[in-house]
Structure 1
Amino acid sequence: MASISIIGTGNMGSAIARLALAAGSDVQVVARDGAKAEGVDPAATAATFGDALTGDVVVLALPYPALDDVVATYGEQLTGKVVVDITNPLDFATFDDLVVPADSSAAAGLADRLPGAKVVKAFNTNFAATLATGTVGGLPTTVLVAGDDADAKAALAATLDGSGVRVVDAGSLRRARELEAVGFLQLTLAAGEKTGWDAGLALV
């Protein structure tokens, strides 16, 4: 059985947990607020930030600035694991720029800080609502995945197999920059009320 730990109990973390449970994966949900995760599906295991991670795949369903805490707390424990960065590194003060170098990405920066982990980028081009419904404009929700390790991308896909979403390999970790640009565009469109928070991009 595929196993996944999801750090974060917000809308994205909860939606990803439901998908993994629907796929039959063994799911651990880790709360960052120092308390046991509340409202977690009873089929999942609830844990507190700092507890041991049981999943072979670890999803960081957190805001970009929280990655510092993850590295400090779990750095060594993430060695050998598939680490999924879902962040969009926006400048939330201006909502008009990304805060990573133009030739890099949040995922690439995380990979540099976790050299023993297999870092992939995924879910940052999805809104929680489209993960929850499994559809975008009548089409299956597409989860784009970028990473340098084919087995790591396959491991993430295995945790979602049977959930109803479509997982598509978007290429190497270098493509994380483009995925973050797409995520940035979607967020600015939704924040500007040009689209809804239940919208998204679909592959036809």
Structure 2
Amino acid sequence: MAVIDIIGSGHMARGIAIRMLKGNNTVRILGRNGTQLRDLVESLGPGASGAYAGNPLEARIVVLAVPHGQAKPVILEYADAMDGKIVVDISNPLDYTTMDRLTTAPGKSAAEEVAELLGGRSEVVKAFNTTFARTLETGIVAGQPLDVLIAGDSEGAKEEISALVAAGGMRPIDVGPLRRARELEAIMLLVSGLQVNPEHVHFNWDTALKILP
């Protein structure tokens, strides 16, 4: 059983927390909106607790369940408190006004930005950016367990996150080093564009990426 700090109290934080609790882990949600934080923790039930963002981190595994633009302020706020931890970046750096471009520089992923900000003091893993919040609540789509694509430069960190994913009833897939996060984020530019395109009536936020044998 692991203890996991999830920074953020939105839909993705909820979905990831549900999966982690399913695996008999303990989660602590850190958020700034007191009402939203309280409602989320109460809905999650036993095994979940809450604290205001900025409180000391308690877990070795920290999930950044915040939009891409909020990751840098969070990291700067916590600074050395993230040293030695596994930091999971779930963000998709999309331009949500157009859904037609990534907001990262060419040849750079959001996860690599996080790793640079942390200066090698933490083990950064990209995960959960290819899963949608509503699908995480059930862990399955069309009777199939969710695939969680995972990238990172630390084999040990990826193994730990993969074990949490598997315990939550999903299938972890190691896609390689952290630079593969560029492709994971680019995939979601394509997928998210399909989700919001009215011509594709069968695509919605309950769909999932699945690699079949």
TM-score band w.r.t. shorter chain = over 0.9
SS at match of 1:73: helix
Measure, in 2, the Cα distance between the counterparts of 1:174 and 1:36: 34
Deviations 1:146-166 (A, max 9, x none): 000011111212333421111
SS at match of 1:109: helix
Unaligned runs of 5+ in 1: none
Would you say how many aligned residue pairs link Structure 1 and Structure 2? 204
Confirm whether residue 90 of structure 1 aligns to residue 98 of structure 2.
no
How do residues 133-152 of structure 1 correspond to structure 2 at under 5 angstroms? Answer: 133-152=138-157
Matching residue of 1:33 = 33
Matching residue of 2:208 = 200
Matching residue of 2:115 = 111
Measure, in 2, the Cα distance between the counterparts of 1:20 and 1:86: 15
Measure, in 1, the Cα distance between the counterparts of 2:209 and 2:83: 33
Measure, in 2, the Cα distance between the counterparts of 1:34 and 1:122: 27
Measure, in 2, the Cα distance between the counterparts of 1:32 and 1:75: 18
Confirm whether residue 63 of structure 1 aligns to residue 67 of structure 2.
yes
Confirm whether residue 179 of structure 1 aligns to residue 184 of structure 2.
yes
8 Å CA contact retained: 1:33, 1:49 = no
Residue 104 (structure 1) shift: 1.2
* TM-score, normalization by structure 2: 0.91
SS at match of 1:99: coil
8 Å CA contact retained: 1:57, 1:155 = no
Q: Which runs of 4+ in 1 moved over 4 A?
A: none
The answer to which structure has the higher helix fraction is 2
Residue 36 (structure 1) shift: 7.7
* TM-score, normalization by structure 1: 0.94
8 Å CA contact retained: 1:35, 1:48 = no
Measure, in 2, the Cα distance between the counterparts of 1:147 and 1:121: 6
Matching residue of 1:14 = 14
Unaligned runs of 5+ in 2: none
Measure, in 1, the Cα distance between the counterparts of 2:18 and 2:98: 33
